[in-house]
A and B are shown apart, each in its own frame.
Chain A
Amino acid sequence: MFHAKKPSSMNGSYENRAMCVQGDSGLVLTTDPKPRLRWTVELHDRFVDAVAQLGGPDKATPKTIMRVMGVKGLTLYHLKSHLQKFRLGKQPHKEYGDHSTKEGSRASVMDIQRNVASSSGMISRNMNEMQIEVQRRLHEQLEVQRHLQLRIEAQGKYMQSILERACQTLTGENMAAAAAVAGGGYKGNLESSSLSAAVGSSPHPLSFPLFQDLNIYGNTTEQVLDHHNFHHQNIENHYTGNNAAATNIYLGKRRPSPSFGNDVRKELLMWSDQDQDLSVNQPFDDEHRIQIQMATHISTDLDSLSENNRGKLLERLSPRRSPLAPMMNPNGGLIQGMNSPFG
């Protein structure tokens, strides 16, 4: 016997019909001229179970599902269409979960949208999912950026420690002597190392005046500071009133130099007097650090460059520039976006 049942809440786009009846088998059928099967939650669950048993929506066929489900009154027709919708409905999830596939995953979401264009409920769901996906990726990029900074710093700290350690072993006595000469030149073992030879002996007129001026093994700490500050101001003049540029430089073109433990010159001087802190280091927020680093690199670059090249170099550091190489960048669309919101 058929019992008339009040239609419960609409389930997607399947049925807008008024009346649903429930048959003997427990299936809910609508009473309109073309009886449509109502996929209730329980029925759908059984369907999902059966599909899972059969090895997934791709492996299952309507026939086998019908057999496994063992629900009377269920026809192949019902199952065919439901399986198809189930497969398409599952696809977006699979793509999003497996985000390591190439950029084609975004394309396939588009494909899916086209395929189920008739099913308006699915469209809105896919759009939503796509938005979520995009947001997720942006978030992930932010995470990557944050993590990278931390990792680089950790690596830099480690390298400084091994370098210090290696030097300590080599120059034990010399360091003690040098430390006693506070503020004096550092004349350790390093004087004889090929570093000083290499750095000091570069004969070419265009080699960096910074190094030669500094003559790091002879200068006092104060002299080095003055040198740094001078260049620091030089750079500031270039970027007057353009804080955005400086910030962008930090985010977009942050030199990892300090973090990779580079400013070895500073390190060398620090060893000569462990207590005296280079004031350069103190306000050591990243921006400050970057400008110092840039100063040492750029000031000399700028001096020796011709007009054109200087312009080019400055342009590279300006905010509108995207630091990412355009080639071989399948994620280009997404990554470009990274520069603007965080600039």
Chain B
Amino acid sequence: MHCPFYFIISMTMNHPYDDFPNLLFSNNTATATSTSSCVEQHDGIISLDMDWDCDFHDLIESMMSDKGATTESSPVLPCYHGQEGISNSSSTGLSMADELDHDVEADESKGLRLVHLLVAAADASIGADKTRELTRVLLAKLKDMTSTNDRTNMERLAAHFTNGLSKLHKEANVQRQYGPHQHPDVHDRVDVMLAFQMLQNMSPYINFGYLTATQAILEAVQYERRIHIVDYDITDGVQWPSLMQALVSRNTGPSAQHLRITALSRATNGKKSVAAVQEAGRRLTAFAESIGQPFSYHHCRMESDTFNPSSLKLVRGEAVVINCVLHLPRFSHQPPNSIISFLSEAKTLNPKLVTLVHEEVGLVGNQGFLYRFMDLLHQFSAIFDSLEAGPARGFVERVIFGPWVSGWLTRIAITAEVESFASWPLWLATNGFKPVEVSFANRCQAKLLLSLFNDGYGVEELGQNGLVLGWKSRRLVSASFWASCESSE
């Protein structure tokens, strides 16, 4: 099978690495510019005589010069981090009163310092053995400076990243293994679900993916009598009630469309995931019954990472839809090979539609850990900023973001396993799938959804067959639609 790795889409990345300093520089030109001793890095050894106020741009440049990334000259775009926080934490945009200016400055220089430290720690953590001590020192300092209860976004985010890096660091001393990661702070199921719900109210992140995919499905199967959806990762089944409701409302009487969902579970995710899939089935069945939607549910276990389509039960005359929603905070590891296998094999089912929803992170192929780390930092800064303030925000951050960040850090550190596709859409396009256009109604719905939340969100078109949710200049989630090249329209 043609290996699609290492595609590099250079400028289609909306978050080119040279954008990264934009994240950090602010209007406030009072940033310390002392250049007495900048961070020098040779072979991963960072001088401990650091002047923490040195120009961050130089730091990036020196660290990146041998990584081949390009950096721009000092940009002056306003940074957006730190605008919304649990409290009304200061930022360049909002604060007007004089007495707050000092706090703004302090916040931002601290933010910069934190990023310095994080990047340095990340770099040190993958360095050769002699940097292990350095990593420990850096992480200790970070832990000292941050906490998940802090006032500003940057501090809290840095705390989560610090925790994630610490775990990586510890695990590096122990034999690394795949499989479900048991985080010491694993939260119980109720907390997770609560936090999940709250997250839906703070950001359109989750529902953008669900609703956009569902709308495309509805359009694709409009005239089908039987619909069969194969769901790669059903989570709690939250995507499907809205589909059922839509089906019920547009069909009356004998023209009811029959819906069948097959949810996959992967054995490597453990017994819990199997139980979750089964529970989702029960809930969905109950819901379907309550609204009168003909429905049946199946659970398909994947024993390994390869998907075998013959393990599905198929019914003649049904339209098959492949649903691959990958953007949710994942607590279990889903190696890209499993997804590739799933998509390739699923193609043989001749699906009417393939929906693909994924986060816009970790997608750049052939880049080193540090690049990916920064990309991740960038992504989560954007998400953090985009969340609406609310009383339960800290809770959501701890329950969902902490593990989410840790999971990602682990993923990108295991370089062999990282999703080094430039993008899933490209993979699909070159592996026998053709794009399916996004409808006007779908675009409308996306914009409407966004209007319910903070300003700063936007929807972009992704070619002809996709939509991307972004916050300010950062793409967050994209949804794209495909059909197999052989399927008849």
Binding site for B on A (CB under 8 A): 99-102, 137, 140-141, 143-145, 147-148, 150-155, 157-159, 161-163, 165-167, 170, 190, 193-195, 198-199, 201-204, 206-208, 210-211, 252-257, 260-262, 264, 296-297, 300-301, 304-306, 308-309, 312, 316, 323-325, 327-331, 335
Contact = CB atoms under 8 A, between A and B. Distances in A.
Contacts of B445: 144, 147-148
Nearest to B459: A328
A194 B448 contact: no
Contacts of B190: 163, 166-167, 170, 190, 193
B389 interface: yes
B87 A329 contact: no
Which has the most chain A C-beta neighbours within 10 Å: B249, B286, B452, B464? B452
A253 B444 CA distance: 15
B279 to A, nearest CB: 8
26 contacts: A100-B437, A151-B242, A155-B238, A157-B287, A159-B193, A161-B287, A162-B236, A163-B190, A163-B197, A166-B189, A194-B191, A194-B399, A195-B392, A198-B392, A198-B398, A199-B394, A199-B395, A203-B149, A296-B391, A316-B455, A323-B452, A324-B447, A324-B450, A325-B451, A329-B447, A335-B444
B5 to A, nearest CB: 30
A199 to B, nearest CB: 6
Interface in B161-194: 187-191, 193-194
B249 to A, nearest CB: 7
Contacts of B119: none
B283 A158 contact: yes
Nearest to B458: A328
Contact of B452 (A170, A254, A331): A254
Interface string B447-477: 1111110011111110010000010000000
Which has the most chain B C-beta neighbours within 10 Å: A144, A190, A202? A144
B440 A199 contact: no
Contacts of A296: 391
A163 B194 contact: yes
A192 B447 CA distance: 40
A158 to B, nearest CB: 4
Contact of A328 (B287, B452, B470): B470
Contacts of A206: 86-88, 151
A190 B149 CA distance: 21
Contacts of A309: 88, 94
B96 interface: yes
A262 B196 CA distance: 10
B230 to A, nearest CB: 20
A286 to B, nearest CB: 13
A330 B287 CA distance: 37
B13 interface: no
Given A324-B451, A328-B459, A262 B198 contact: yes
Contacts of A335: 444, 447
Contacts of B456: 325
Contacts, number: 194
B440 A157 contact: no
Contacts of A211: 391-392
B246 interface: yes
| In the complex, the 5 A-B pairs of residues with the closest C-beta atoms, listed nearest first | A206-B87, A151-B242, A154-B245, A158-B241, A323-B451
Contacts of A260: 197, 200-201, 207
B341 interface: no
A297 B437 contact: no
B441 interface: yes
Contact of A199 (B94, B392, B470): B392
A8 B283 CA distance: 68
Nearest to A330: B461
B443 interface: yes
B211 interface: yes
Contact of A202 (B149, B188, B390, B451): B149
A144 B438 CA distance: 14
B439 A99 contact: yes
Nearest to A332: B447
A256 B452 contact: yes
A143 B245 contact: no
B10 to A, nearest CB: 21
A240 B118 CA distance: 50
A216 B90 CA distance: 29
Contacts of A166: 189-190, 193
Contacts of B88: 206, 301, 304-306, 309
B211 A151 contact: yes
A154 B241 contact: yes
B353 to A, nearest CB: 14
Contacts of B450: 324-325
A248 to B, nearest CB: 12
A261 B241 contact: no
B198 A202 contact: no
A193 B191 contact: yes
Contact of B439 (A100, A153, A163, A323): A100
Given A145-B448, A331-B444, A331-B447, A194 B398 contact: yes
B134 interface: no
Given A195-B395, A260-B200, A165 B389 contact: no
A29 to B, nearest CB: 44
B244 A154 contact: yes
Interface in B97-153: 97, 100, 149, 151
A163 B279 CA distance: 12
Nearest to B236: A162
Interface string B291-333: 1000000000000000000000000000000000000000000
B214 interface: yes
A301 B441 contact: no
Given A99-B439, A309-B94, A335-B444, A198 B451 contact: no
A133 to B, nearest CB: 11
Contacts of A254: 452
Given A166-B190, A193-B188, A328-B460, A137 B241 contact: no
A150 B241 CA distance: 10
Given A170-B189, A330-B461, 7 more contacts: A158-B241, A159-B236, A195-B191, A204-B149, A260-B200, A323-B451, A323-B455
Contacts of B470: 328
B444 A100 contact: no
Contacts of B394: 198-199, 202, 207
Contacts of A256: 200-201, 452
